[in-house]
Amino acid sequence: MSAPELLSYRLWVNGHAREVEGGRLEESLLYVLRERLGLTGTKNACEEGECGSCSVLVDGRLECSCTILAASAVGRDIVTLEGLSPGGGATALQLAFVEAGAVQCGFCTPGLVVAVTDLLARVPEPTDDEIREAISGNLCRCTGYGRIVEAVRRAARAQAAGMRTAP
Amino acid sequence: MIVTKAPPLPRLGKSLRRPDGMAKARGVFKFSSDLDEPGMLWGHLVRSPHPAARIAEIDISPARAMAGAAAVLLAGDVPGRPTYGLNYPDQPVFASDEVRHVGEVVAAVAADHPLTARRAAEAVAVRYEVGEPVTDPEVALRAAPVHPLGNVLAEQRVVRGDVAAEGDVVVEGYYETGMQDQAFLGTEAALAVPDGQGGIDIYVATQWLHIDQDQISASLGVPHDQVRVHLAGVGGSFGAREDLSMQIPLCLLALRTGRAVKMVFGREESFLGHVHRHPARMWYRHSADRSGRLVKVEARILLDGGAYLSSSPAVLSNVACFAAGPYRVPNAFVEATCARTNNPPCGAMRGFGSVQVCVAHEAQMDRLAAALGMDPIELRRRNALRPGDDLVTGQVLEGAVPVIELLEACSSAPLPPERHWETTEPGDLALPGGSGRAAEPLRVRRGVGVALGFKNIMFSCAFDDYSVARCRLEGGRVTITTAAAEVGQGLVTLLHQIAGEVLGTDEVVLAEASTVGIGSAGSTSASRQSVMTGGAVQAACQAVADAVLAATAARVGVPRASLQLAGGRVVSDDGCVDVPVAEAGALCGECFEETVTYQHAATAELDEKGQGDAHVAFVFSAHRAVVDVDVDLGLVKVVEMTTAQDVGRVLNPLQLVGQIEGGTSQGVGFAVMEELIVEHGRVRNPSFTDYAIPTALDMPPVRIAALVQEPQPGLPFGAKGAGEPPAISSTAAVLAAVRDATGVAVNRAPVHPPDIALALAPGTRAGQGDAGVTPS
Ligand code: FES
Ligand code: FES
């Protein structure tokens, strides 16, 4: 078999231009983020669009990065888990996950954090049904979701309190 | 409600946060699939597409010739033992003459890119002479051997009392459980790095580092101490990582190429590449007197073990021991067999053995209650095991046996409000099937079911079960070293709490788990680590505390006998000395280090009549399920799960809730959706598209009606392991609720919609015979 054709292109990830050199056409965005750009906060639990562990925001929309070809994401605005807290610290949502006991093995956690960040931006005070529906594309095998729902409630409350006290 | 019979402790019993929680939430925690090494290669395995075939020829030249391919290995490339296995090495590293299940590993390749590795694996040309697979465990018992060691993987009888005894009322039933998958989110992954001197380091997500080391070393033909196994971040395990997956081929590739090699299973390969929960067929006959007291339980249970042994003997032993459920049973006859077939190998999964029989014994109890015209809760109360009772194996129960308390707590908890379906719009999320399925509100029926279960914790049947821990105290800082695998359950938090409790400090560091310089911690399974490694850490810290006490006496110039350890502090009789142990150690200016092996009380093998003190301790579990079922479509919505658990002592309430909710949800999944469909030896649904696990919409809230804290004598802090019990009785409770809602005699986990819908379809009579399946 002949050697595959190699591509070079530029992605916008977390507000920065990132060069991809010698990539292959069939590489998913998930693969390029993890293996070429070192952004392993995006997880790879199924690579078939069924688990949500690879969730990223593409042009502000929640997407599974495993189902997108990286080379097709040129020119799009990609935000990964790492881009949610640019300073490197923890967001209130991440803190809520830890404090509510929503993290066990933690493999689902990054994807959930991205999905819930998206939810709370759209629906600041979600009902339990809205929370469950919003995270129903994110599989978690460890927690049974009870503490995750609780973490989202807490984060929503914290966000609402923050907004009320904001000048 | 927490039923407390234990005095509080300063640090244990608090919801300390997980030390690794924030790293996981921020995505900086390194899972095994996140590892890399400059210049590393990617490995891929070649697997059999056939359940039974002879290998006529393997041509690796097309794979070898591929640009970027670095190595292709076959059975002849295994320098050491050609086979491996958890209990007994009956499984080839690479099949060479015949394959016995779909997914059996035939070859391994390494290449410079994962896609190249996959293509190279596809290019390995294996010519198979396809044979006729043995896929029915009943047939297997009479068929030609699938393996030179024969088709009986394990068998155990339990004979107790007068097997001819008979009560006034007799009920019989046939039950089945399907093949469940652990379906952890982090697929199998590892990185192997050769050291250039013939040795190797492997960083792997596993449950038991030292047993991996034993098996890798044997097959590599590399001395034990040159195979260093390190725990890499584990994305859940639930039993599936107790057997080796890729460890030996991956190390062989690294040694052959002299380069680091990484391998990550895709989801489909993960489904094919680890053991599953044993499917079971169970024939039961219960008899009782008119007052409802059990007179005899008879059971014949057949497990499908698949092609290789794995942990089938331990699973089968549990099936036999716990077949009668947590009840007083004066007479019993149980015959349990595990057959070898050409189906995928089965082995450990959370609650093994107990989960399967719970489905059957609880359905039998409900059936018996109906035959007696008695309330099923009352029937269970009458027969529940109590402290000092003995099991059908003759073992006397010591310590906590809170079966009645669990039952009362679950059954008396308030019920969720009834739905008023007349006002519900089609498409409401609360409807069975959710918004996407067209359940008809007025055809929804509610049902409630209760189930009890129990299981052993720690390894049983005379196994030499131990864990080693080291405690080092230097300058007030505590470092704990063990080889115990944190798999998500939160052991790391508990070890912090335990060390802190004994040494009076929060300054505790856990060293990375590896086989280097520390003995085995045993497996992260059988709900054993909080007891075993928790116990080892407690003992090591206690030994350090004793040494600190002696050194403090010398330093202060008081008799040793005038000092005591109390609540993590060194205190003197006169009150002049009162300081946390860790601080006292720092004041002594010395480094204290102790390594301790913790072992639980010895257990015995079961004899040929299944009698013997085979287990060191038991945990009991109760669930109540509330379901709504659309009787036309057969769709089930689990509305609420209530549970009560026997925990000994709560070490970390928040983590305990996490174990309970997570275990309950795996049981709910097994009840209503999770089944690997295997046809003619082929797994038909190896993806999350087709093997559905509960989502946040499927999994209802879990109400914890009671945590019974009755410290178990002989266990550290009296705490029982909590990993498995929540998974034991939840499946059976959901099935009971479905029967209650529909009147259909559902006898199978999982229940599929047609089992309900077809049984209730016009022209059939609900509740007549067993819905779902009939014995072959
Ligand atoms: S890894 Fe993308 S959805 Fe599962
Ligand atoms: S915490 Fe393990 S999968 Fe969610």
Output the pLDDT for position B765: 56
Question: Which residues in chain B are contacts of A50 at CB distance < 8 A?
Answer: 267, 687-689
CB B683 within 8 A of CB B102: yes
CB B738 within 8 A of CB B629: yes
In this structure, which amino acid lies at residue B743? G
Confidence tier at B768 by pLDDT (50, 70, 90):
very low
Output the pLDDT for position B422: 75
Nearest CA in chain A to B655: A101
**Ligand 1 neighbourhood includes A53 CB (under 6 angstroms):** yes
| Cα distance between residue B130 and residue A73, in whole Å | 45
**Ligand 1 neighbourhood includes A62 CB (under 6 angstroms):** no
- Chain B residues 477-496 within an 8 A CB cutoff of chain A: 487-490
Length of chain B: 776
> B199 lies in a domain?
no
Question: Any alpha helices (H) in B522-643, and if so which ranges?
Answer: 529-556, 581-588
| Cα distance between residue B309 and residue B243, in whole Å | 10
| Cα distance between residue B611 and residue B159, in whole Å | 8
Q: Is the pLDDT of residue B437 over 70?
A: no
Secondary-structure breakdown of chain B: helix, strand, coil percentages, each rounded to the nearest 5: 30, 25, 45
- Select from B236, B689, B697 the Cβ nearest to the Cβ of A105: B236
Closest-approaching ligand to the CA atom of A63: 1
Domain shared by B655 and B734, yes or no: yes
Domain shared by B559 and B696, yes or no: no
**Ligand 2 neighbourhood includes A106 CB (under 6 angstroms):** yes
Nearest CA in chain A to B435: A133
Give the closest-approach CA distance of A104 to chain B in angstroms: 5
User: Quick one: DSSP state of residue B77?
Assistant: G
| Cα distance between residue B128 and residue B49, in whole Å | 9
- Chain B residues 121-140 within an 8 A CB cutoff of chain A: 123
| Cα distance between residue B670 and residue B414, in whole Å | 25
% of chain A at pLDDT higher than 90:
89
Domain shared by B667 and B576, yes or no: no
Rama region for B39: left / alpha / beta (φ>0; ψ in -120 to 50; rest): left
CB B327 within 8 A of CB B383: yes
Domain shared by B556 and B509, yes or no: yes
Closest-approaching ligand to the CA atom of A142: 2
- Taking the centre of ligand 1 as the mean of its atom positions, its distance from the CA of residue B692, in whole angstroms, is 14
Domain shared by B696 and B576, yes or no: no
Domain shared by B751 and B626, yes or no: yes
Question: Any alpha helices (H) in B48-102, and if so which ranges?
Answer: 61-64
Which tens digit of pLDDT belongs to each residue from B368-407? Answer: 999 999 999 999 999 999 999 999 999 999 999 999 999 9
Q: How confident is the model over B544-561, as a mean pLDDT?
A: 96
Question: Any alpha helices (H) in B465-527, and if so which ranges?
Answer: 491-503
- Taking the centre of ligand 2 as the mean of its atom positions, its distance from the CA of residue B323, in whole angstroms, is 31
Backbone angles phi, psi at B287, to 5 degrees: -130, 150
> B449 lies in a domain?
yes
**Ligand 2 neighbourhood includes A113 CB (under 6 angstroms):** no
Which tens digit of pLDDT belongs to each residue from B438-476? Answer: 678 889 999 999 999 999 999 999 999 999 999 999 999
CB–CB of A50 and B33 under 8 A?
Answer: no
CB B539 within 8 A of CB B552: no
Question: Which residues in chain B are contacts of A81 at CB distance < 8 A?
Answer: 26-27
Size of interface A-B (CB pairs under 8 A): 193
Confidence tier at B774 by pLDDT (50, 70, 90):
very low
Here the tokens at position B142 are: 């009479």
SS3 B489: coil
Q: How confident is the model over A44-58, as a mean pLDDT?
A: 98
**Ligand 1 neighbourhood includes A54 CB (under 6 angstroms):** yes
Question: Which residues in chain B are contacts of A95 at CB distance < 8 A?
Answer: 22, 25
Model pTM score = 0.96
Contacting residues for B593 by C-beta, under 8 A, at least 6 apart: B470, B471, B472, B473, B544
Domain shared by B632 and B731, yes or no: yes
In which domain, by residue range, is B687 found?
400-457+618-776
CB A39 within 8 A of CB B259: no
| Cα distance between residue A119 and residue B404, in whole Å | 44
Q: How confident is the model over A93-99, as a mean pLDDT?
A: 97
CB B203 within 8 A of CB B35: yes
Domain shared by B699 and B623, yes or no: yes
Q: Which residue's alpha carbon is nearest to atom 4 within ligand 2?
A: A140
- Can you say whether the dihedral through the CA atoms of B315, B316, B321, B322 is positive or negative? positive
Question: Which residues in chain A are contacts of B689 at CB distance < 8 A?
Answer: 48, 50
- Can you say whether the dihedral through the CA atoms of B657, B661, B667, B670 is positive or negative? negative
Confidence tier at B421 by pLDDT (50, 70, 90):
confident
C-beta atoms surrounding B688 within 10 Å: 21
> B559 lies in a domain?
yes
Q: Is the pLDDT of residue B769 over 60?
A: no
Nearest CA in chain B to A104: B488
Q: Which residue's alpha carbon is nearest to atom 3 within ligand 2?
A: A140
Output the pLDDT for position B424: 74
Q: How confident is the model over B649-655, as a mean pLDDT?
A: 96
- Chain A residues 63-122 within an 8 A CB cutoff of chain B: 80-82, 85, 90, 94-95, 97-99, 101, 103-110, 113
CA-closest candidate to residue B48, choices B114, B92, B9, B110: B92
Confidence tier at A166 by pLDDT (50, 70, 90):
low
Give the closest-approach CA distance of A71 to chain B in angstroms: 16
Q: Residue A37: how many CA atoms within 13 Å on its side-chain side?
A: 26
**Which numbered atom of ligand 2 lies nearest the CA of A106?**
1
| Cα distance between residue B669 and residue B699, in whole Å | 8
Domain shared by B572 and B470, yes or no: yes
> B630 lies in a domain?
yes
Which tens digit of pLDDT belongs to each residue from B526-551? Answer: 999 999 999 999 999 999 999 999 99
CB B103 within 8 A of CB B686: no
In the β-sheet with B635-646, what is the strand arrangement from edge to edge? B2-4, B702-709, B635-646, B617-630, B444-457
Domain shared by B566 and B640, yes or no: no
Q: How confident is the model over B666-683, as a mean pLDDT?
A: 98
SS3 A146: helix
CB B674 within 8 A of CB B731: no
Q: Is the pLDDT of residue B97 over 90?
A: yes
Domain shared by B632 and B776, yes or no: yes
Which tens digit of pLDDT belongs to each residue from B325-377? Answer: 999 999 999 999 999 999 999 999 999 999 999 999 999 999 999 999 999 99
> B175 lies in a domain?
no
In this structure, which amino acid lies at residue B664? T
CB–CB of A106 and B429 under 8 A?
Answer: no
Last residue of a domain, one of B570, B599, B628: B599
> B371 lies in a domain?
no
Q: Is the pLDDT of residue A150 over 50?
A: yes
> B113 lies in a domain?
no
Q: How many domains does chain B have?
A: 2
Domain shared by B635 and B763, yes or no: yes
Contacting residues for B569 by C-beta, under 8 A, at least 6 apart: B504, B578, B579, B580, B581
Output the pLDDT for position B770: 52
CB B329 within 8 A of CB B393: no
For helices B529-556 and B581-588, give the axis angle rounded to 10 degrees.
50
Distances (CA, A) of B126 to B60, B122, B680: 8, 10, 21
Q: For residue B436, what is the domain's CATH number?
A: 3.30.365.10
DSSP state letters, A61-118: EEEEGGGSBGGGGTTSEEE-GGGGSTTSS--HHHHHHHHHT--SS-SSHHHHHHHHHH
> B111 lies in a domain?
no
User: Quick one: DSSP state of residue A9?
Assistant: E
Cis peptide before B750 (omega within 30 of 0): yes
CB A4 within 8 A of CB A71: no
Output the pLDDT for position A165: 61
